Amino acid sequence: MEEARSKDEARAAEVASLIKDTRAYLCIDCSKCTGSCPIGKAGSVYSPRLLVQHLVLDGRDPSETEVWRCLTCGLCRERCPSDVDFPRFISRLRATALIDGNLPQTTHGGTFQELMRIQANERLRQNKMDWLPEWVNARGADDLDGSTEDVYFVGCAPYFDVVFADFDLDLKGTHEAALELLKATGLNPVVLRDERCCGHDALWSGDVELFRKLAGRNLEMFKAAGVKRLFVSCPEGYHTFAHEYPAHLGELGFEVINTVKYLADNPPPGFDMEGDTNTGTRPKAGGVVEADGAGDGGAVTCGAAADASTRPEEVTYHDSCRMGRFSGIYDEPRKMLAMTRGVTLKEMEFTRAQAPCCGSNLWINCDSLSKKMQMELLEEARKTGAGVMLTACDKCRIHLACALMQNGHVSDGLKTDNILRFLYRKGVRKT
């Protein structure tokens, strides 16, 4: 009885503090969030407004499914006139749902949740770095002497490559490219063999305890290595290290740097075109792509003289949520593409802060709605006429590849690629 009461009290305190922290009490009932929500757009009913209203006014929790349904894409927050932080609102509620024993429906048999959990084990020594370029100095947890100032964080890509081998996405290639590009700018970053999961998915799924455990192991290791600058390419990882670690564990004592941002500020040789001149072409309202002679068989290309290498390659860029709305990195990837020879950026109708969600997050709740959102995003990309859709987030690529596998015919040969992999191939590729 006593215990039940203290549990209820703790719960009430947590709910009161999350309403305060996420500014949910400022909700003016305008329902922009509900109108923005990609789940609603895909055909289901999901109302952030009602969830906020029910909790703030009536103290009523979301239903067991509602609490897990949100994709935390942040589009509602972007458009909220009162700046209510709904993604965080729902993720904090997830923590209370976990206490009540309400668990999410995990995808892939819970494989990724377990991969995350096992990485909190202190004795874990991983072998995930056998693919690194030869020049990279990789150090194990037992081989740190406080002298490694520039560290590159790889993250879960090697594990994803195994589980999603069928998609053939070469996610490790992203990090290989990132390391080579950083090397071309004159850096020599070290990789820590025993880096742990950054804890992004744990945090947003409400498992704060696991997040803290993982973060603690990582910080311990970074401290032992003597990290001054941590380079991260994965948008989720970058956002977690740069914003969530300080918020939960205090001052980091080192700088967290997004690889694309760093490259835009310190372009490596090979990226010599005038930046910022290429703003890309936007499809007109209704999605009709403006005529562009440089496409396949276009009038501008001069017959046999123009081979594939001189013809500009048309690409489009998808702003993933953690890179864009959460970290505010919109211009840097575009600047990099503008500096790359032979590349034209064709923008989608909804870009930057208005970019659509890739339809899946945290390895929970993937269903036909997710697939619908993914196909819609691919359709948007296809409408630009570009052959490749670039993004900074490899998780987006996994989700989109999964949708393509099921509905391949709609894609029209559209490919997805990570922007770093693309830049490396176009720019400083080995000669």
Partner 1 sequence: MADFEPRIVAFACNWCSYAGADLAGVSRLQYPPNIRTIRVMCSGRVSPGHIIRAFEHGADGVFVSGCHINDCHYGFGNRWAEKQIEKTLKLVEMLGIEPDRLKLEWISASEGEKFATSIRTFVERIKELGRSPLQR
The backbone region for 76, taken as left when phi is positive above 0, alpha when psi lies in -120 to 50, beta otherwise, is alpha
Q: Are 431 and 183 in contact (CB under 8 A)?
A: no
Site for partner 1 in 279-338 (CB under 8 A): none
Amino acid at residue number 61? D
From the list 223, 52, 70, the residue with the least C-alpha distance to 145 is 223
Distance of closest approach, residue 420 Cβ to partner 1, in angstroms: 22
Own/partner long-range contacts of 366-374 (Cβ < 8 Å, ≥24 apart): 366/107, 366/399, 369/39, 369/42, 369/43, 369/44, 370/399, 370/403, 371/402, 371/403, 371/406, 371/407, 372/42, 372/43, 373/38, 373/41, 373/42, 374/399, 374/400, 374/402, 374/403
Q: Within 154-293, where are the H helices?
A: 157-163, 172-184, 200-204, 208-225, 235-239, 245-249, 259-265
| Structure token pair of residue 342 | 């032979």
**Which of 207/332 has CB closer to partner 1?**
207
Least CB distance to partner 1 at residue 158 (A): 6
**What six digits make up the tokens of 314?**
């048309």
The one among 4, 162, 288, 299 contacting partner 1 by CB under 8 A? 162
Distance CA 124, CA 118 (A): 8
> CB of 356 within 8 A of CB of 378?
no
Q: Which one among 60, 108, 228, 425 touches partner 1, defined by CB under 8 A? A: 108
When the beta carbons of 167 and 271 are compared against partner 1, the nearer one is: 167
- By CB under 8 A, residue 17 contacts partner 1: no
Q: For the window 256-275, what string marks contact with partner 1 as x by the rule CB under 8 A?
A: --------------------
Exposure class string for 380-415: b at 16+ Cβ within 10 A, else e: bbbbbbbbbbbbbbbbbbbbbbbbbeeeeeebeebe
Q: Is the CB of 202 or the CB of 378 nearer to partner 1? A: 202
- Cβ proximity to partner 1: between 221 and 339 the closer is 221
Q: Pattern 117-146, binding to partner 1, x per CB under 8 A? A: xx--x-xxxxxx------------------
State both tokens at 194.
């025993």
Residues 6+ apart with CB under 8 A from 202: 116, 208, 210, 211, 214
Q: How far is the CB of 192 from partner 1 (least distance, A)?
A: 14
* Shorter beta-carbon distance to partner 1: residue 16 or 405: 405
Among 9, 114, 209, 276, binds partner 1 (CB under 8 A): 114
Binding region for partner 1 (CB under 8 A) out of 84-92, 113-121, 231-239, 305-313: 113-121
We find the least distance from the C-beta atom of residue 170 to partner 1, in angstroms, to be 15
Residue 113 found at the interface with partner 1 (CB under 8 A): yes
CA distances from 186 to 175, 233, 288, 359 (A): 17, 17, 43, 38
Question: Residue 142 has what DSSP assignment?
Answer: T
Closer Cβ to partner 1, 43 or 140, answer by number: 140
Nearer to partner 1, 162 or 304 (CB): 162
Residues near 189 by Cβ (< 8 Å), separated by ≥ 6?
136, 150, 151, 152, 179, 182, 183, 231
How many positions of this chain bind partner 1 (CB under 8 A)? 23
Stretch that binds partner 1, among 159-167, 353-361, 371-379, 411-419 (CB under 8 A): 159-167
Smallest distance from partner 1 to CB 369, Å: 23
Residue 54 or 117: which CB sits closer to partner 1?
Answer: 117
Alpha helices in 108-156, H assignment, sequence order:
111-118
Minimum distance from residue 131 beta carbon to partner 1 (Å): 11
Q: Token pair of 361, please? A: 């997050």
The answer to whether 106 contacts partner 1 (rule: CB under 8 A) is: yes
What is the nearest approach in angstroms of partner 1 to the Cβ of residue 425? 26
Q: Which is nearer to partner 1, 196 or 372 (CB)?
A: 196
Complex with partner 1: residue 10 or 118, whichever CB lies closer: 118
Q: Which is nearer to partner 1, 115 or 294 (CB)?
A: 115
Stretch near partner 1 under the rule CB under 8 A, chosen from 59-67, 106-114, 274-282, 383-391: 106-114
Q: From residue 306, how far is each of 295, 299, 311, 395 by CA, in Å?
A: 12, 11, 6, 36
How many Å apart are CA 292 and CA 239, to the nearest integer?
37
Q: Which of 101, 109, 293, 297 binds partner 1 (CB under 8 A)?
A: 109
Site for partner 1 in 163-222 (CB under 8 A): 163, 165
Q: Is 115 in the site for partner 1 (CB under 8 A)?
A: yes
* 278 part of the interface to partner 1, by CB under 8 A: no
Q: Which residues of this chain interact with partner 1, rule CB under 8 A?
A: 106, 108-115, 117-118, 121, 123-128, 158-159, 162-163, 165
